[in-house]
Amino acid sequence: MAESWVNSAELTGSDLHLELAPTGSRRAALADALRAAVREGRLPPGTRLPPYRSLAADLGVARNTVADAYAELVAEGWLTARQGSGTRVAERAAPRAAVRRPKPVPAPAAPSYNLLQGQPDAGSFPRTGWLAAARRALTAAPNEAFGPGDPRGRVELRTALAEYLARARGVRTDPERIVVCAGFAHGLRLLYEGGVLRGPLAVEEYGLPYHRGLLERARVRLLPLPVDGRGADTTALAGLPGVREVLLTPAHQFPTGVPLHHDRRRTATDWARARGGLVLEDDYDGEFRYDRQPVGALQGLDPERVVYIGSVSKSLSPALRLGWMVLPDAVLDGVLAVKGQREAWVSVPDQLTLAEFVTSGGYDRHLRKMRQRYRRRRDQLTSALAEQAPHITVSGVAAGLHAVLRLPAGTERAVVQAAARQGLAVDGLSAHRHPRAAGPAPDGLVIGYATPPDSAYTAALATLCRILPPP
């Protein structure tokens, strides 16, 4: 069996892995190993090899053994040796073995215009402010920040979030009850895949299909609640025996866009208190409102009966994978046990950077800027529809990053197909409806107005208006 070494080259700064036969001449074994590395492409042409002394020390052989092996390979044309340049792999010393590659699978053509919901304006990520916050945060970070830590997340971020959420969203908490996670979906996984909660779970009849699929894969039974102009009908919870958990989007029902009426908010927390249950609050875009007063978090009504989950996916970028859970005492220890001491963590440098970004005021400044930007986008959408398709009703535009367009009955599928033919990506409203929801399903489109770049937005709206059905 061959002997393996991983050899470091002190002067070149490169590492070299060789497998030497355990028997026979050491010079011959080294020469064979180098030939194999070149032939297989592990040592590409031009690679500088370690000096004799370094490689000999690493392999535990005599310096002359390495020198003789190098000389043999130079003579054969595998290597080149020049004064001041060291020993290198010769150019095209041996052809690389042909690699059979699978035929590429054609990727679906990207749409010309993207009006899908759920995506912020990627071009508006605050790169300069984020980079400055990262520099300050990493300069000030203690050494222990880069070792194993608290599964809750960095205390700097939890402290910043406790202050921010209390001020901006009316959340009642302290840093010890905040657990940093990678976003809303990660929070659901910690709660349900980890067995902290088991369901059955009442959900709004309209929601994100991805979240429903995640919960169903965790074997959670989902029961739909009706949604109307006052949000989810939480009075229906009383008629669901055995259910002690409900998932709501109180600030901005997804995707219909209405806030949960204050009477129904109270009904939800009263029900949870009476059942010994929990309300899961998805505050997915609570920072963005335009034509209404801000709606505070439901969690503020009863912190011991509401699991509050938020993230920066809409406010900054989904690429950051940063979120948080504000947990009642009843589930805090269970979530921490599932999260573990080392697994399912969010990058510590990103946590420190977000903490600095929040405490320095950069996050608030960014949100104010984006509110103005998204409001202009929203106004462009409503103006274009009023001018070119006045018969189409638009709703859910007082807040958030998307709007719902109501369509004539029976037209949604044809409109979505027509949009695809025109290179326009849109969501149909029916895609977000629970398959077991009762009653008729209205036709509509869910239009995300945050995603397209400014240069493409006007054309995207023109294309949208062209594919809408006539009055």
What average pLDDT does the structure give for the chain? Answer: 89
pTM, two decimals, is 0.83
What pLDDT, on a 0 to 100 scale, did the predictor assign at position 42? 84
Residue 49 pLDDT class (50, 70, 90 cuts): confident
CA distance 301 to 268: 10
Mean pLDDT for 247-254 is: 94
CA distance 216 to 188: 11
**What percent of the chain is predicted at pLDDT more than 90?**
66
pLDDT digits (tens, 9 = 90+) for 220-249: 999 999 999 999 999 999 999 999 999 999
pLDDT digits (tens, 9 = 90+) for 376-396: 999 999 999 999 999 999 998
Domains of the chain listed by start with CATH number: 3-89 (1.10.10.10), 125-364 (3.40.640.10), 366-467 (3.90.1150.10)
| Strand stretches in 249-293, DSSP E | 278-282
Mean pLDDT for 189-209 is: 93
CA distance 7 to 298: 60
**What percent of the chain is predicted at pLDDT more than 70?**
92
Residue 107 pLDDT class (50, 70, 90 cuts): low
Among 150-154, 155-159, 287-291, 345-349, the range with the most confident prediction by mean pLDDT is: 155-159
pLDDT digits (tens, 9 = 90+) for 396-434: 888 889 999 999 999 999 999 999 999 999 999 999 999
Instruction: Identify whether the C-beta of residue 9 lies closer than 8 Å to the C-beta of residue 16.
Output: yes
Confidence check: pLDDT of 106 > 80:
no
Residue bearing tokens 């009316």: 170
What pLDDT, on a 0 to 100 scale, did the predictor assign at position 329? 95
pLDDT digits (tens, 9 = 90+) for 156-177: 999 999 999 999 999 999 999 9
Burial class (CB in 10 A: 0-12, 13-18, 19+), 113: buried
Mean pLDDT for 266-279 is: 96
Residue 95 pLDDT class (50, 70, 90 cuts): low
Mean pLDDT for 253-272 is: 95
Confidence check: pLDDT of 13 > 80:
no
